[in-house]
Amino acid sequence: MTSTPVHEAATDGAARKDFIRQIVRDDLASGRQTAIRTRFPPEPNGYLHIGHAKAICLDFGVAQEFGGWCNLRLDDTNPAKEDPEYVKAIQDDVHWLGFDWHSLRHASDYFEVLYLAAEKLIRQGDAFVCDLTPEQIREYRGTLTEPGRNSPWRDRSVEENLDLFRRMRAGEFPDASRTLRAKIDMAAGNMNMRDPALYRIKHVEHQNTGNAWPIYPMYDFAHSLSDAIEGITHSLCTLEFEDHRPLYDWCVEKADLAHSPELLKPLTDKGYPFEAGKPRQIEFSRLNFNYLVMSKRKLMALVQEGLVDGWDDPRMPTLQGIRRRGYTPSALRLMVDRVGISKQNSLLDISILEGALRDDLDAHAQRRMAVIDPLKLVLTNVAEDFEETLAFPNHPKDESAGTREVPFSRELWIEREDFAEVPPPGFKRLTVGGDVRLRGAGIVRCDEVVKDESGKVVELRCTLDLASRPGMEGANRKVKGTIHWVGAKRAVAAEIRLYDRLFTVPDPDNDEGGKSYKDYLNPESRRVVAGYVEPAAATATPEQSFQFERIGYFVADRYDHTADKPVFNRSVTLRDTWATKG
């Protein structure tokens, strides 16, 4: 039997050269690690956003590329803010991005183990129960320039600490009256090492553990030990945790779960494998784009104040929102690859995100014709009942996408802006007395316009040049412009939602002049129009994307679209129209 070293199992990721993958490669080459295990650890207190897509692609991607695995772990140590609704959406989002987890875990699965680890720390003299109030703890903590002071409760005996901690667990004390703190160094330059809290008292029901626990572990303690419990080798997180790394390492070292099977018994008794190890935390920069806000708190405010239609509003940067907008998993993965992984925090231009979507849809979305601001065009020189179908390629650069039948008839819809009664200089489309090519159908000349009482043009009466029809000898006759159209007889009326950026300024988060991001909402971020689409667009399945020729990329709405009442969302325009707005 031959065996392949794990690191050779790498797929296309082998080409990715970022510093994290280099560390992983080195760890495998040196034998420091034999299998790669990562985790994606969202807190279920909101919906995932575009930033999380970077973490997901990295956590799951690295595991996949190096033949390892990645857990999805819900970091549910803050029961007051968490909700099962989010848990469901998070799983949906990870799957949608194209990843699957080795095991679905919750930090709360480990509460018993974490509790035993805390008792171990107490017995080692590494933790103590502190009776200072939250304000006092803040006072004792010192500042960046001044050391802190030891808590008067720091030197309690192991017995007293154990007794008090057990009574905290038994629910004997009110919220916030005591904490369990690590005994490290109140003079440490790194504030996180100044006897940080490990447990707090909180009489709150938890969505998984109910009322079993009146105490909850703090983030640093729960996170580091959850990684250790699962045998995570590389714990990838964003840069704001860099200052927490010494505490992370301290917790892992002091609890030493890899050599403490007795602490893992509550899990192994339930059938969990013993996997404990010594994880290594590595930080990378957060993904931030201009024209967006990404903090969960601000997104929550937009939803709660009704400034958007919900978490899955297509203008929201949540994965549920951009999915509904028409973003594809492959566009997001492309964006993450283009952005790369580094330790440099920066605000990226939104055109990187939109560009990845355009490139992905340009390559993969089929073409259709749709008219979003319809004006009727009548071919006066063909019979009343004239009707035929024309074969159109579904994709100009991909023959394998095949062709479709596009109905052409005496009456057509064209885009109102493709006609001008008084053409501006350089206008290449239809004018009175002028001619234009109807995409794939022939050349028409406009003879006459029909207006309503208000003087608005409601109909163009045109002559179809029969010699210019496809396959005829005049088919290549040169005209200045080509426009798209939809055959009125078979056209399907469609609701078209024209989405645009939610904010008008690149930095909606600036606090200048007491303004908030809510002051920069773009009133034009959604316009709903009634248009027409060709039958082969109407029959789209929800979430199917198209390029509507000359207009932009659109997606059939995930929830509202049906073949009878099509609803399309504009995902992105064909070109970046913001770049030129200045």
Residues classed as catalytic: 43, 286, 296
Dist. CA 147–CA 354, nearest whole Å: 48
| Closest CB to ligand ATP among residues 56, 494 | 56
- Using an 8 Å Cβ cutoff, are 134 and 201 in contact? no
Would you call 582 exposed, middle or buried from its count of C-beta atoms within 10 A (0-12, 13-18, 19+)?
exposed
Q: Tell me how far, at minimum, the Cβ of 133 lies from ligand ATP, in Å.
A: 27
Assign 3-class secondary structure to 411-438: EEEEEHHHECCCCCCCCCCECECCEEEE
Query: What, of Mg ion, ligand ATP, none, does residue 362 touch, CB below 5 to 8 Å by kind?
Result: none
Q: Packing angle between helix 219-230 and helix 245-255, nearest 10 degrees?
A: 60
Q: Which residue is nearest to Mg ion (CB)?
A: 43
Identify which of 333, 351, 339 has the alpha carbon closest to the alpha carbon of residue 96. Answer: 333
Query: What, of Mg ion, ligand ATP, none, does residue 332 touch, CB below 5 to 8 Å by kind?
Result: none
Q: Tell me how far, at minimum, the Cβ of 411 lies from Mg ion, in Å.
A: 57
Q: Would you tell me how many other CB atoms lie within 10 Å of the CB of residue 403?
A: 12
Q: Which of residues 79-108 bind ligand ATP (CB under 6 A)?
A: none
Dist. CA 156–CA 268, nearest whole Å: 33
- Using an 8 Å Cβ cutoff, are 79 and 204 in contact? yes
Which positions ≥6 away from 418 have C-beta within 8 Å? 375, 429, 430, 436, 481, 483
Q: Which of residues 35-54 bind ligand ATP (CB under 6 A)?
A: 41-43, 51-52, 54
Query: What, of ligand ATP, Mg ion, none, does residue 322 touch, CB below 5 to 8 Å by kind?
Result: none
Would you call 278 exposed, middle or buried from its count of C-beta atoms within 10 A (0-12, 13-18, 19+)?
middle
- Using an 8 Å Cβ cutoff, are 481 and 400 in contact? no
Q: Tell me how far, at minimum, the Cβ of 45 lies from Mg ion, in Å.
A: 7
Query: What is the arrangement of strands in the sheet containing 442-451, beginning at the earlier edge strand?
Result: 482-483, 435-438, 442-451, 457-465, 374-379, 411-415, 485-487
| Closest CB to ligand ATP among residues 298, 550 | 298
Q: Tell me how far, at minimum, the Cβ of 52 lies from Mg ion, in Å.
A: 10
Query: What, of ligand ATP, Mg ion, none, does residue 357 touch, CB below 5 to 8 Å by kind?
Result: none
Q: How many residues bind ligand ATP (CB under 6 A)?
A: 14
| Closest CB to ligand ATP among residues 54, 333 | 54
| Closest CB to Mg ion among residues 49, 325 | 49
| Closest CB to Mg ion among residues 82, 557 | 82
**Interaction mask 223-262, ligand ATP, x per CB under 6 A:** --------------xx------------------------
Of the residues 18, 25, 43, 427, which one makes contact with Mg ion according to CB under 5 A: 43
Spacing of C-alpha 458 from chain mean position: 43
Q: Pick the piece of the chain touching Mg ion (CB under 5 A) from 38-46, 53-61, 333-341, 509-517.
A: 38-46
Pairing of strands 552-556, 567-573: antiparallel
- Using an 8 Å Cβ cutoff, are 272 and 94 in contact? no
Dist. CA 158–CA 523, nearest whole Å: 62
Q: Which of residues 385-424 bind ligand ATP (CB under 6 A)?
A: none
| Closest CB to ligand ATP among residues 295, 562 | 295
Q: Tell me how far, at minimum, the Cβ of 55 lies from ligand ATP, in Å.
A: 4
Question: What tokens were used for 66?
Answer: 């190096």
Q: Tell me how far, at minimum, the Cβ of 41 lies from ligand ATP, in Å.
A: 6
| Closest CB to Mg ion among residues 43, 560 | 43
- Using an 8 Å Cβ cutoff, are 367 and 549 in contact? yes
Query: What, of ligand ATP, Mg ion, none, does residue 296 touch, CB below 5 to 8 Å by kind?
Result: ligand ATP
Q: Tell me how far, at minimum, the Cβ of 49 lies from Mg ion, in Å.
A: 12
| Closest CB to Mg ion among residues 43, 362 | 43
Angle at alpha carbon of residue 539, lines to 537 and 545, rounded to 5°: 50
Q: Which of residues 261-320 bind ligand ATP (CB under 6 A)?
A: 286-287, 294-296
Residue 25 as a binder of ligand ATP (CB under 6 A): the answer is no
- Using an 8 Å Cβ cutoff, are 571 and 557 in contact? no
Q: Tell me how far, at minimum, the Cβ of 335 lies from Mg ion, in Å.
A: 22
Residues that bind Mg ion (CB under 5 A): 43
* Residues at the contact surface with ligand ATP, assessed by CB under 6 A: 41-43, 51-52, 54-55, 237-238, 286-287, 294-296
